[in-house]
Amino acid sequence: MSEVKKVKNEYIKESSDGLRGTIHQEIQDKSSTKFTADNVQLLKFHGIYQQDDRDKRQELKKEGLDREYIFMIRTKNPGGGNITPDQWNALNQISNQWSDGSLRITTRECFQLHGIGKTNLWNTLNSLNKNLISSYGACGDIVRNTVASPISDVREDYSYNAQALAREIDKATLAQSRGYYEIWVDGQKVTTKINRDKIEKDDLYKEDYLPRKFKIGVGHQLDNSIDIYTHDIGIMPIIDGELIGLNILVGGGLGSHHRQSQTFPRLADELGMCEEKDIIKVVRKIVEIQRDHGCRTNRKRARMKYLLDEWGVEKFRDELESRLGFSLKDYYKIVPSTIDDYYGWNKQKQDGKFYCGIFVENGRIKDKNSVMLKSGLTEIISKFKVESRLTATQDFIMVNIDESDVPKISDMLKQFNIDTNEKYSTLRKASMACPAFPTCGLAIAEAERFLPFLIDDLEGRGYGNEKIKIRMSGCPNSCSRPPVSEIGIIGASVRKYNIYLGGDFYGRRLNRLFLELVDDTELANKISRLIDYWKANKKNENEDFGDFCNNYDFAKLKQIAQ
């Protein structure tokens, strides 16, 4: 029987010499503004995506010119922080000097810097690393940035430090190759092939790494802002006076492909519970199972959710326990019942300290019109030496602020027209979009540039105070997590979207396809009709929009929406 042929990415990884490829040599090549195809794949492991300005693509093509290649760098930021004042100032300066001037908070609590030219790529990465800001493993077929509640160490009613666990997981799942540091930090090779095999021995990833990206989230009973059911591994600390154990969920993931039924979003399964002392071993063994059994012949089916779908949770648990050498405890039946929005001023458990959550529309930190968000944050952070955190809903938190500084910082926020909470509608604060055009190569339709106008329209019709979660993605990869929103809007064609309904406000249920290929000019009309119908027909004041739609006949709702 002939061996099944793996996808090309697998051979690229295996022959990459520890993810080095010929990246170092191509950086030196000033004659080209882009990297060769194999190195483009390897750059992802370094936290770098090669992109182009899609607003200019067609015009350049008409003129017979090549694309205008640019690069995006994504930082690694376990648990959303801590970001020191020096690191913030470095990010501000670097983004002003070498990227498009903005900082983009991601749904995995990282920063993205967009619009970097190839000639500035080394300077950017080198400067980030000099300030202890890494991008290693932020992308690629590897364990990505581990997300967690970013204020679990400072909020008074949180008794488990999820942030600290996120940092432990990040350290335990970091690739051992020194290639990243040789290329971007040292600027030259510092290890020879002879001693590399010993120094870089990687028992977790070996030479072929993982079949696909791998995402881990540490949740909390009081806060499902990370959408714990959407990760390859979800970890939920169970507290009843004291820590009982850590619940483990496996096999979540939201990406799919339109009209390809073999791909689909999936919520994670309840696997079991382990003691805190065993969690790192459990995580590594789960990653090893995906490494050994995940699909390497079809990248569309390579995420661990498809392995769970094929095996079932019982077989997966049996395989895990055989590798662990001990049995998991039964899953502790509990679901997260709230979402923390972090907004405004909040007292910390630390005496005399406060944190302040700031809404950042779609995660884009920049100065726009009269709202001097980037400049204002920079001045406040510099003056008061404020530490900061990022959230999985693309917002920004300043932490460990002295009580005596609260009124001074409040005044400065007003000076720069930065509103922490009150200015923005409930609907807007619950919305989220991915970047999409013009930088993302996978975007089918607009997202970040369109969603604010859709919210404007809905607010203008009087729906701003409605507690409804709307998420928009430019393609079905679903980076803004629309499949677990009450209204999911996913790009399906140019200026056309599929609408999904019936999700849960708290991220505990998938929504379902409702309408296909809706023109962008009709989105507000259809959503408005649905909201009106919900308000007039819901069972009681406590029936959320998503629950109403999930329990209602979609055929009837389609008649209403038309």
* CATH architecture, domain defined by 344-424: Alpha-Beta Complex (3.90)
Name residue 220's beta-bridge partners. 223
Q: Which of 448, 513, 459 is nearest to 487 (CA)?
A: 513
Segment 201-248, tens digit of pLDDT:
999 999 999 999 999 999 988 899 999 999 999 999 999 889 999 999
Considering only 34-38, 157-161, 290-294, 461-465, which range has the smallest mean pLDDT? Answer: 157-161
**Span 407-411, mean pLDDT?**
98
Q: Which of 440, 469, 471, 549 is catalytic?
A: 440
Q: Which of 523, 534, 528 is nearest to 556 (CA)?
A: 534
Residue 1's pLDDT is what? 43
190 vs 169 pLDDT, higher one: 169
Q: Quick one: CA dihedral 538, 539, 541, 547, positive or negative?
A: negative
Q: 417 with 380: CB under 8 angstroms?
A: no
List, as one string, the DSSP characters of 463-493. -TT----EEEESSTT-TT-GGGSSEEEEEEE
Q: Please say if 475 is a catalytic residue.
A: yes
Q: Which of 13, 34, 44, 74 is catalytic?
A: 74
Burial class of residue 491 (count of CB atoms within 10 Å of its CB; 0-12, 13-18, 19+): buried
Report the distance separating Cα 285 and Cα 173, nearest Å.
11
* Residue 348 three-state SS: strand
Given a cut of 60, whether residue 180 has pLDDT beyond it is yes
Q: Which of 34, 44, 144, 291 is catalytic?
A: 144
End-to-end CA distance of the chain: 55
Segment 313-353, tens digit of pLDDT:
999 999 999 999 999 999 999 988 888 889 999 999 999 99
Mean pLDDT of the chain: 96
Quickly count: other Cβ atoms within 10 Å of residue 553's Cβ: 8
H or E segment to which residue 427 belongs: helix 426-429
H helices present in 147-293, as ranges: 162-172, 179-181, 193-199, 279-293
In CATH, 143-174+210-340 is 3.90.105.10: no
Q: 348 with 400: CB under 8 angstroms?
A: yes
Segment 243-265, tens digit of pLDDT:
999 999 999 999 999 999 999 99
Give the domain ranges of the chain: 1-140+177-185, 143-174+210-340, 344-424, 427-561
| Residue whose entry in the numeric block shows the structure tokens 């997300």 | 147
Residue 4's pLDDT is what? 76
Q: Please say if 434 is a catalytic residue.
A: yes
| Residue whose entry in the numeric block shows the structure tokens 């005596």 | 404
Residue 241's pLDDT is what? 87
Residue 422's pLDDT is what? 80
Q: 81 with 102: CB under 8 angstroms?
A: no
Q: Tell me which CATH code domain 427-561 carries.
A: 3.30.413.10
Given a cut of 50, whether residue 190 has pLDDT beyond it is no
Report the distance separating Cα 339 and Cα 229, nearest Å.
14
Q: Please say if 74 is a catalytic residue.
A: yes
Q: 318 with 312: CB under 8 angstroms?
A: no
Q: Tell me which CATH code domain 1-140+177-185 carries.
A: 3.30.70.2500
Residues in Cβ contact with 278 at an 8 Å cutoff, skipping those fewer than 6 apart: 324, 326
SS (H, E, C) 354-394: EEEEECCHHHEECEECCEEHHHHHHHHHHHHCCEEEECCCC
Given a cut of 60, whether residue 143 has pLDDT beyond it is yes
Report the distance separating Cα 35 and Cα 26, nearest Å.
7
Buried b / exposed e over 110-148, threshold 16 CB at 10 Å, is: bbbbbbbebebbeebbebbbebebbbbbbbbbbbbbbbb
Domains 143-174+210-340 and 427-561 share a fold: yes
Given a cut of 70, whether residue 187 has pLDDT beyond it is no
Given a cut of 90, whether residue 49 has pLDDT beyond it is yes
pTM of the model: 0.96
How many Cα atoms within 13 Å fall on the side-chain side of residue 451?
30
Residues in Cβ contact with 331 at an 8 Å cutoff, skipping those fewer than 6 apart: 247, 248, 270, 271, 272, 273
Q: Which of 274, 295, 356, 479 is catalytic?
A: 479
Q: Which of 317, 475, 509, 526 is catalytic?
A: 475
Residue 2's pLDDT is what? 52
Q: Please say if 213 is a catalytic residue.
A: yes
Indicate the pLDDT class of residue 193, thresholds 50, 70 and 90.
Answer: low
Name residue 347's beta-bridge partners. 354
| Residue whose entry in the numeric block shows the structure tokens 């507690």 | 467
Residues in Cβ contact with 268 at an 8 Å cutoff, skipping those fewer than 6 apart: 228, 229, 230, 231, 232, 233, 234, 249, 250, 251, 252, 305
* Residue 495 three-state SS: coil
Q: Which of 215, 374, 389, 481 is catalytic?
A: 215
